[in-house]
Amino acid sequence: MQRRDILRITAALAALPFARHAQAQASAPQWTTAAAASLARQELYPTVLNSRIYVAGGLLNPNTGYSAHFESYDPAADRWTRLATLPAARHHIALATAGGLIYGVGGFSGGFPNWRAEASTYVYEPDADRWTDGVPLPYPSAEGVCAAIGSRVYLVGGRIREHDGARHFNAHADTTQGVVFDPAQGRWSAIAPAPTARNSAAAAVIDGRLYVVGGRQAIKQADGSLRQVNVPALEVYDPARDRWTSRAPMPQAQGGLAAAALDGRLYAFGGEQWVPEQKVFAEAWVYEPKRDSWAALPALPTPRHGLGAATLGNRIHVFGGGTRVGGDHASTVHEVLRIQG
């Protein structure tokens, strides 16, 4: 073997660790930015239809304001477009897509602290850019999670009124109740209650099952105030069996977080904490159902809670949300996690 060949092989071997490192870095999830939303708001529960993200309602700055604003994001143009407003302003209204229609379910009316859970359901027809009244929920509900599995729309947990006249945030209670809407029958029906009563959780659908993660419980104190305690629980609903199972909890309890599914995995982002100290989370996580295990992701560049998350292609878009604990400080931030595949 000639000396120049030995040198060439030696140089190639020496470069291997650097090549592996560069390849690993290139394949790791990476954050970028995208067009800012047209309105600063938080408490968002978005949906996806025809490769576009849709977001409705939300809390404004200050949090005594709330909105009927409705817009979509087109990734090809990197642009948000304002659409027909909701029939009534709502915050914490949950969106789900089924049968080519968007359902806007429940949510609160009123500015803080005079929040009132609503039973309203609105249905959006994208071709006509029009909302119509849908079949109301069996009970007023807000801060629950909502998703479509097949042609049906599911709503789980959140906060419900303690009495019919409830018009204050403290006059609501967390629930384990869940319901499903069947468009073919035109009615809502009860499903098996979830193991954990909570609000401000996040959810996504993986392989026809609903994964509900994180959130918090508003625990009433002797003086009538609420102690907001985060929960890390991950619970999975199987509609074929009408049954819940508990899986490995989040590594860290995060309330007011966002979640999305991609390639059979659950991704969770941000959130806030009230006790034992107030803070907003930047932490992001990925859950692998086959291993029943969690792993850390690169942290959110902008820590937020009450934010929305949605999957388009191999990217997860994370937008809006409050940058400080509580209802104020809503943002238009739009950050995108690219998952290499």
Query: Taking a C-beta distance cutoff of 8 angstroms, is the pair 276, 253 a contact?
Result: no
Domain boundaries, the chain: 32-338
Distance separating alpha carbons of residues 187 and 198, to the nearest angstrom: 25
Residue 24, classed as helix, strand or coil, is helix
Instruction: Please report, in tens digits, the pLDDT of each residue of the chain (341 residues total).
Output: 554 554 353 444 444 444 444 344 447 899 999 999 999 999 999 999 999 999 999 999 988 999 999 999 999 999 999 999 999 999 999 999 999 999 999 999 999 999 999 999 999 999 999 999 999 999 999 999 999 999 999 999 999 999 999 999 999 999 999 999 999 999 999 999 999 999 999 999 999 999 999 999 999 999 989 999 999 999 999 999 999 999 999 999 999 999 999 999 999 999 999 999 999 999 999 999 999 999 999 999 999 999 999 999 999 999 999 999 999 899 999 999 999 75
Residue range 32-338 forms a domain whose CATH class is mainly beta
CA dist list (Å): 25 to 11, 15, 22, 262, 298: 22, 15, 5, 20, 12
pTM for the predicted model, two decimal places? 0.92
CA atoms within 13 A on the CB side of 308: 36
Query: Taking a C-beta distance cutoff of 8 angstroms, is the pair 29, 339 a contact?
Result: yes
Give the position of tokens 């039973």: 119
Q: What is the pLDDT of residue 33?
A: 98
**Contacts with 301 (C-beta within 8 Å, 6 or more apart), sequence order:** 31, 33, 282, 335
User: Considering only CA atoms, which of 273, 315, 283, 298 is closest in space to residue 51?
Assistant: 315
Distance separating alpha carbons of residues 131 and 111, to the nearest angstrom: 23
69, two tokens: 């604003």
Continuous H helices in the chain: 3-27
Residue 76, classed as helix, strand or coil, is coil
Entry field: residues in the chain: 341
* Cis amide linkage into residue 249, ω under 30° from 0: no
DSSP letters for 93-110 = -EEEEETTEEEEE--EES
> Would you give the DSSP letter of residue 165?
T
User: Considering only CA atoms, which of 174, 183, 170, 171 is closest in space to residue 212?
Assistant: 174
